[in-house]
Amino acid sequence: MQRRAFTLLELSLASSLVAVVLLVASVLLYYGMRNWRQLDQTQDASFQLTKACRHLRQELRQTSFNKCRVDQHGEMGDVVTFLSALDESTGEALFQPDGSPFWQRNVVYYLAQPTGDSCRPLECVHKRLLRLSLDTGTATQADSDPAVSEEDLLSDPLDKLSVDAPTVALNLQGLKIQLAPEPIAFPDEVKVEVLAERSTQMQFSVFPRNNQ
């Protein structure tokens, strides 16, 4: 029995159908991958924001409102400086004999752009949140004498900034900090806003516990 061969028209139709199926599949794959990347980036932004806010909230809660300072760092955002009574090795708060906090060091949080990044600073979404711990006077230990080693709040924190400071969080865009934005209603409030890419942001308020 002789088999009938496919006609040119049938081959053309089959080829067109296969091409359409491949095109639809490639479009679906493209949009699926794009949505996956966007979801992954959003999740990473949320993770980095949560990490940054957790560190800032924990440390700001342990300082005093009167021992906080906020400076403008150009397009990098705000720089917050505060005194810390926490022991760096144990995380425990240390106090003087009269019960007042033993201010051991200055802590500075700020954003820095990675070296070699070509983004405009204001629009860069690759900034790192850095934490700088400064012991500017006599080196402070847990058993140090507060009379000779207690720190004063830095008057020039911008001169101390370093890109080699430890990184707390990645891929951030902005940091805005306000001291007592509503001074009558909340005179001891520290309001923090951290911004990541795609306008993802987190904000919170802290009322420092140590008011001495």
Tell me what pLDDT residue 37 has: 62
Determine which of 92-96, 105-109, 137-141, 153-157 has the lowest per-residue pLDDT on average: 137-141
Distances (CA, A) of 11 to 4, 5, 6, 21, 135: 13, 10, 7, 15, 80
**Helix extents (H) in the chain:** 8-61, 146-149
Give yes or no for residue 1 having a pLDDT over 70.
no
pLDDT score, position 121 = 81
Q: In what order do the strands lie in the sheet with 78-84?
A: 68-72, 78-84, 105-112, 127-134, 167-179, 190-196, 201-206
Three-state SS at 203: strand
In this structure, which amino acid lies at residue 70?
V
pLDDT at residue 71 is higher than 90: yes
What would the mean pLDDT of 136-142 be, rounded to a whole number?
Answer: 69
Tokens standing for 74? 């150009």
Of the listed ranges 1-10, 23-32, 67-76, 156-165, the least confidently predicted one is 1-10
CA distances from 39 to 5, 35, 36, 179 (A): 50, 6, 5, 34
Q: What percent of the chain has pLDDT over 70?
A: 83
Nearest Cα neighbor of 149 from 94, 82, 68 is 94
Question: Any idea which residue has 């060091």 for tokens?
Answer: 105
Q: Has residue 36 got a pLDDT over 60?
A: no
- Short-list 159, 56, 175, 42, CA closest to 112: 175
**For residue 118, what pLDDT is reported?**
78
Q: Determine the average pLDDT of the residues in 173-178.
A: 94
67 CB burial (10 A radius; 0-12, 13-18, 19+) = buried
pLDDT mean across residues, the chain? 84
